């Protein structure tokens, strides 16, 4: 999983390159948010870390919520995760996964008893 600054940079680049259906240059964005094109480039590559005030200016310019720059938590229950991971397995493979899960569960319990 990318770190938070890589995620922010990816989102800045995505917003910049898709703005108004054609995108804008780093220079145009830099002028709009009162910074340099070099800084925009370094934000996009996670070389520089934008401050909250930088993100606020970007969000205002793009007309989006500041939260768009942060990874969205994907609530996924354990059951859904297992269903997703085993969806295409045949019965024999599914049986093997269940046996392995039982083994891991027993091993975990044994460790807790120590």
pLDDT at 76: 61
Q: If DSSP states are collapsed to H, E and C, what string results for the chain?
A: CCCHHHHHHHHHHHHHHHHHHCCCCHHHHHHHCCCCHHHHHHHHCCCCCCCHHHHHHHHHHHCCCHHHHCCCCCCCCHHHHHHHHHCCCCHHHHHHHHHHHHHHHHHHHHHHHC
As a whole number, mean pLDDT of residues 47-74 equals 88
Question: Do 103 and 55 fall into the same domain?
Answer: no
Q: What is the CATH number of the domain that holds 49?
A: 1.10.260.40
pLDDT at 62: 94
Question: Do 47 and 84 fall into the same domain?
Answer: no
Question: Do 61 and 82 fall into the same domain?
Answer: no
| Domain interval for residue 102 | 78-113
Question: Do 87 and 53 fall into the same domain?
Answer: no
Question: Do 45 and 97 fall into the same domain?
Answer: no
User: Rounded distance, CA 17 to CA 41, Å?
Assistant: 12
**Residue 2, pLDDT above cutoff 90:** no
- Number of domains into which the chain is organized: 2
Percentage of the chain lying above the pLDDT 90 cut: 48
pLDDT at 89: 78
Question: Do 38 and 88 fall into the same domain?
Answer: no
Question: Do 99 and 48 fall into the same domain?
Answer: no
**Residue 74, pLDDT above cutoff 60:** no
Question: Do 86 and 45 fall into the same domain?
Answer: no
Residue 36 CA, distance from chain mean position: 26
As a whole number, mean pLDDT of residues 47-63 equals 95
As a whole number, mean pLDDT of residues 53-70 equals 92
Question: Do 86 and 44 fall into the same domain?
Answer: no
Tens-place pLDDT, residues 6-37: 999 999 999 999 988 889 999 999 999 999 99
- Report residue 75's pLDDT band, with 50, 70 and 90 as the boundaries: low
């Amino acid at each position: 999983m990318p770190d938070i600054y890589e995620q922010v940079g990816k989102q800045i680049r995505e917003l910049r390159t898709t703005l108004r259906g054609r995108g804008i240059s780093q220079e145009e964005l830099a002028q709009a948010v009162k910074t340099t094109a070099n800084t925009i480039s370094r934000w996009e590559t996670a070389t520089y870390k934008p401050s909250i005030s930088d993100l606020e200016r970007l969000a205002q310019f793009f007309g989006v919520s500041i939260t768009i720059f942060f990874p969205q938590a994907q609530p996924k229950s354990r059951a859904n995760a297992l269903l997703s991971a085993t969806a295409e397995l045949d019965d024999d493979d599914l049986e093997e996964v269940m046996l392995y899960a039982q083994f891991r569960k027993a091993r975990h319990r044994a460790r807790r008893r120590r």
